[in-house]
Amino acid sequence: MNGNTLVYGLAHDYEEHQDWIAAHFHVTGYCDQDESRLPAAGAVRKEELRDRLGKFDIVLVTADPVSIVEDLIRTFDVPEEKIRVLFYEMAKEEPALRRFYGENAEDALLMLVCGELGLPLRGLTYIEVGTNDPVRFNNTYNLYRAGARGLLVDPLPAVGRLVAMARPGDRFLHAAVSAKSAAEPMTFYASKSSLVSSLSEAHHHAWDGITHNEVYEIPVDVIGINEIVDTCPPLVDMLLVDAEGEDEKIMRALDYARFHPAVIMVEMDHLDTSRAALIDFMRTNDYLEYTTIAYNTIFVAKDAWERR
């Protein structure tokens, strides 16, 4: 049992896993942005958090850690070493490869195609453009647990903290990725719903009315995809691209003569042209469509497929 624990976030995820939390943490306080959720006993209002923090050994984050962890550290001076994330703690308890973490089980398909191609998961290398949460809804966390390692790239600085917590064996690069590098930092539209943050203001506004889309603007370095590739080992096995509006630009700019991973997965939502046009483009660069799940399409290098 851990020390005195403040649970931060009392919405759906807390309610669903309340018994697990009670079995693993000594909960003595509760905090939530919506004060109507706070119980009578142990309530800590946000404006009291900084002053009452000394009473707690742990702050357990049960909601979106990408936005909440950074807020706790920057706004309320919560020491990073006190913070735990519910889904990271639960993942530690799970035997490796017993569940899927991808939003639509994309990681299951990635492991399947690796098996078909004869690529062992231990020692596999990847580049993930647009990591966001490195555990929950993440497509490479299962690969990481199986012994794969790689480079995670994301424009939200908070993601770097989470990678250090959950995946210290991976490298993290704080940057946005596009077709070419920009000479100066560009504006990144960081949304309260971190999954839809984007370099594109139009892409950001496409989510208005659909999700929590309050936005703050941050400057971020923009690095071209081929420069990202240059920082990695010469033989990377897998590329994943989820760049919220930059996906097609990245795929069309990639130097396929130099960089030829066996597996590529790209988000096919919000493309500049059409899904069919991008599939045709990939075919001209010797990639076959393996499958599509939800809005992600997996491509396999033609030569790797023929060698299987």
pLDDT in tens, 118-146: 999 999 999 999 999 999 999 999 999 99
Rg value, the chain, Cα: 20
Mean pLDDT of 241-251: 92
**Count of positions (residues) in the chain:** 308
Domain chopping of the chain, boundaries:
4-93, 106-307
Contacts of 79 by beta carbon, 8 Å cutoff, 6+ apart: 73
Fold assignment, 4-93: Rossmann fold (3.40.50)
In CATH terms, are 4-93 and 106-307 the same topology?
yes
Q: Indicate whether 258 pLDDT > 80.
A: yes
- Distance (Å, whole) CA 128 – CA 157: 15
pLDDT, residue 47, reads: 94
Q: Which amino acid is at 187?
A: T
pLDDT, residue 206, reads: 52
Q: Indicate whether 260 pLDDT > 90.
A: yes
Burial class of residue 18 in the structure, from the number of CB atoms within 10 Å of its CB (0-12 exposed, 13-18 middle, 19+ buried): middle
CATH for 106-307, among 3.10.20.90, 3.30.70.20, 3.40.50.150, 3.20.20.70? 3.40.50.150
Residue 175: name the closest of 164, 163, 160, 161 by CA: 160
Q: How confident is the model at residue 218 (pLDDT cuts 50, 70, 90)?
A: confident
Our measurement of the distance from residue 189's CA atom to the centroid of its chain's CA atoms, rounded to an integer in Å, reads 16
Mean pLDDT of 156-185: 95
Spatial strand order of the sheet with 296-301 comes to 171-174, 149-154, 125-129, 238-241, 263-267, 296-301, 287-293
Q: Indicate whether 192 pLDDT > 80.
A: no
Q: Indicate whether 199 pLDDT > 90.
A: no
Q: How far is CA 66 from CA 10, 159, 196, 217, 250, in A?
A: 17, 6, 12, 16, 24
Tokens of 6: 């403040």
Tokens of 81: 């070493």
Q: What is the pLDDT of residues 69-112, one digit of tens each?
A: 989 998 999 999 999 999 999 999 998 888 999 999 999 999 99
Between residues 215 and 195, the one the model is more confident about: 215
pLDDT, residue 273, reads: 82
What percent of the chain is predicted at pLDDT more than 70?
91
Are 27 and 5 contacting, i.e. CB atoms less than 8 angstroms apart?
yes
Mean pLDDT of 8-28: 97
Neighbours of 41 (CB within 10 A): 8
Q: Indicate whether 210 pLDDT > 50.
A: no
Q: How confident is the model at residue 207 (pLDDT cuts 50, 70, 90)?
A: very low
